Structure 1
Amino acid sequence: MSLTKSQQNAQKCRDFVPTIHTAPYKTIEPSLASLPFPFVVCIIGGRGAAGGGLARAYAKAGASGIILAARTRIALEETSNEIRSINPKSKVIIAECDITSEDQVQSLAETIKVEFHAHLDVVIVNPGYSGAMIPDVVQESSSDYQNAFNVNTIGVFHAAHYLLPLLVATNSAAMSFIAISSMSAPSVSGPLAHAHYCVSKAAQVRLVEMIYEQYSSKGLFCASVHPGGLRSEFSKTAPEWLAKLLVDSPDLVGAFCVWLSIPSESNKHRQSLNGRFLSCKWDVSELAAKFEEIIEKDLLRFRIAVD
């Protein structure tokens, strides 16, 4: 059966470079990273598969401060203990924060001001809500649609609204705002194209593009990052055929995000990839070979074709 145009585009996005990774590799190994000091990262959604991978990566890279936030404090204890064992010198703060609550995200910003004297280098927003995978808007639940937008889109807005001022005021060379996205965001058809998740993630990507337009001139790097296929809470409700494909290490997305947020003398990776949709599975050396093409053709952004 031939693929539709949208399915072909989704396949091209997944295979943007020849080499697709499933685990960290030497080029992006966090323990070999050189982070400035101090270096403070806030991970909202700092538990579970992706959250744990992100926290471990920044601990291995030597972040001096790590804020882990999630809806329940107890869910963060295991992650915080793990990263303290990886990097005993890192100051680790855990905070209850439901990203759908504007008041709680504002409170998180106040915690950062108190605990780290308002110093903040990187924000990673790792929201995720998906109900049943039903590719039919008639059969989908309206509550799933509302919850998906509250978490996946409005939650990212809350994080940007209250944490971007801290990033800009800190004005470090590593200044980054990264949203953990999904390869579902550019998908509109196929067995996984359940609208509440795909549409809310697409809106999230568009929000990140707008943040780029508004704040890149102030030195901000931002990106939407596909975390790979992870065995997470979401995968518990996935069909068996899909669950078998979820083989990527959660440490890969952590290592990739550390690589993205490291300032360098040339900063070519941050200049070329700023404001774009990325996959942590793409080999970064092969990605670097496409930097000029990405800029020239303005790739890895959402658009409406008119020609």
Structure 2
Amino acid sequence: MSTPSLTNAQQVRDFVETKHDKPYDAIDPKKAKLPEGFVVCIIGAGGAAGSGLARSFAQAGTAGMILAARSQTTLEATAKEVGDINASIKVASVACDITSNESVANIASTVKSQFNGRLDAVFVNCGFSGPLSKATVLEEDFEDVQKAFSTHCLGIWLAAHHLLPFLLESLGSFIVISSISAQSLIGFGTTSHYCTSKFAQARMIELLHAQYADKGIFVASVHPGGMQSEFSRAASKDIQHLLTDSPDLVGAFSVWLLQSEGKGKRQGVLNGRWLSCKWDVAELEAKFDSIQRRDLLKFRMVVE
């Protein structure tokens, strides 16, 4: 039987009528203006979405960029892309395991030593899932469940714990790259460990909003769309044709979120909420009054 809770993911997808699969004029990062001296940290910079974020912020003219990932090879590749776009950007690369306290603390040390403590935005783009074919609790492996919760939940806590002090100084932004799976209960790929840990991750963003919004911090969960990546290659061949979104879409959307023009109104409305980079931003802006008045795009228990 179909119920509102079971169909919520599709309702969220369709919150805005027009959906995009690649950057478009309204979110062109080359037309955006960031605050002077802007420094962004991208944790998970070696993946598809991570490199898309790096390219977009490079195109927008960020002054500094901290790239963090497990693989030195992918870090070097992303750093080269950034340099090819804008050689004037100061880039620091940090080998990082998002589930390691010491490892994430090293990012904070890099902010201090190489950027004099300046940090304006943090993006946490780290994800893990076991085989999508093992969807139920009885089919899943313990190791996959443990790794998913460590990556999605412990990881975001560690990033916030170590990096929020810098953001409190700059009145900066903390954004997690989320997934539509946070709202999903049925359908292909709804493994219990992935969906529930992504839900908890999005709820953590709401908690950070409750704790730090009045101190000037902007937080959000951003769905990056469906793209070809190391993560998606583990998915069934049956859904590969659906993974057609450009990795640069989430990057361009994220620059739009943080750009100087219209920042006060935009972040005032969207702070603490779950967003999709696929949503047309003009149509999203047309819903701002409704979003604020009805407190939309957040999780809640429905009661009467």
Correspondence 1:237 to 2:234: yes
| Structure-1 residue corresponding to 2:118 | 119
Stretches of structure 2 that go unaligned for 5 or more consecutive residues are: none
Secondary structure of 1:184's match? Answer: helix
Task: List 4+ stretches of structure 1 deviating above 4 A.
Answer: none
Cα deviation code 1:89-141 (max 9, x no counterpart): 10011011111001111111011110000000000000110111122111011
- 1:70–1:95 Cα contact (<8 Å) kept: yes
| Structure-2 residue corresponding to 1:296 | 293
> How far does residue 8 in structure 1 lie from its aligned partner after superposition?
2.4
Cα deviation code 1:168-213 (max 9, x no counterpart): 1233xxx110000000001112222111100000000000000011
* 2:195 maps to which of 198, 202, 205: 198
Equivalent residue letter for 1:57: S
> How far does residue 265 in structure 1 lie from its aligned partner after superposition?
5.1
- 1:7–1:190 Cα contact (<8 Å) kept: no
TM-score, scaled to structure 2 = 0.97
| Structure-2 residue corresponding to 1:69 | 68
Correspondence 1:141 to 2:141: yes
Equivalent residue letter for 2:261: S
| Structure-1 residue corresponding to 2:11 | 12
Q: % of aligned pairs identical? A: 51
Secondary structure of 2:245's match? Answer: coil
Stretches of structure 1 that go unaligned for 5 or more consecutive residues are: none
- 1:6–1:189 Cα contact (<8 Å) kept: no
- The 5-angstrom pairing of residues 22-61 of structure 1 reads 22-61=21-60
> How far does residue 74 in structure 1 lie from its aligned partner after superposition?
2.4
> How far does residue 263 in structure 1 lie from its aligned partner after superposition?
3.1
Equivalent residue letter for 2:154: I
| Structure-1 residue corresponding to 2:185 | 188
- 2:206–2:273 Cα contact (<8 Å) kept: yes
> How far does residue 5 in structure 1 lie from its aligned partner after superposition?
2.6
Cα deviation code 1:199-250 (max 9, x no counterpart): 0000000000000111111111110000000101122111112111000000
Task: Return the alpha-carbon distance in structure 1 between the equivalents of residues 177 and 263 of structure 2.
Answer: 25
| Structure-1 residue corresponding to 2:78 | 79
Secondary structure of 1:198's match? Answer: helix
- 1:118–1:170 Cα contact (<8 Å) kept: no
Cα deviation code 1:270-307 (max 9, x no counterpart): 11110000000000000000001111111100111112
Task: Return the alpha-carbon distance in structure 2 between the equivalents of residues 87 and 16 of structure 1.
Answer: 36
Task: Return the alpha-carbon distance in structure 1 between the equivalents of residues 6 and 239 of structure 2.
Answer: 17
Change (3 A) 1:266 1:277: closer
Correspondence 1:223 to 2:201: no
